[in-house]
Amino acid sequence: MQTDATPRVSQIVEPQQPLPAQLKALRRAGRRSLVSLAERTGLSRLTVAAAEGQADARLSTLTALFDELGYTLVPVPKALLAETVAFIANQGQSVSLPAGVSAPLGVAQQAFRYGVDKTTNIDDDDDGETPS
């Protein structure tokens, strides 16, 4: 749970930063040492230090380190990066859909849209049978 004293991820790292820089920022924000992170992941201190300084660190190393810090690596389509960053920065409080994308209609919206009254069933497969 986020407290007022705990910085938000968006205050710690920039999405445009290379992963090693993000890793280092998160480790420091969590007041974790290279040694403690190495011990908790089973990696050597030199491996952890190298992962924080190399743009080409092994994915398995980065995954283990981020996992220990409480984060995960998630591929995000480039077209959705800005929206994903905004979602994380707002801690999931608000999300806007990209231009041209609409949310699927809920049952109530479908009923209103098609003028269906409360005694009529909406039959998705159009086979004439009443849904059970």
Whether 64 is covered by a domain: the verdict is yes
Helices 19-29, 59-68: axis angle to 10 degrees equals: 20
**Residue 68 token pair:** 């220990």
Whether 31 is covered by a domain: the verdict is yes
DSSP 4: T
Whether 109 is covered by a domain: the verdict is no
Whether 111 is covered by a domain: the verdict is no
How big is the CA angle at 84 (ends 78 and 85), to the nearest 5 degrees? 100
Give the range of the structural domain holding residue 57, as residue numbers without chain letter.
9-89
Residue scoring higher pLDDT (97 or 74): 74
What value does the mean pLDDT of the chain take?
A: 77
The residues, any chain, with a CB within 8 Å of residue 45's CB and separated by 6 or more, are: 34, 35, 38
What pLDDT digit, counting tens, does each position of 54-91 carry? 767 889 999 999 999 998 888 888 888 888 888 887 77
pTM > 0.85: no
Q: How many domains does the chain have?
A: 1
Whether 102 is covered by a domain: the verdict is no
- Assign residue 38 the CATH number of its domain: 1.10.260.40
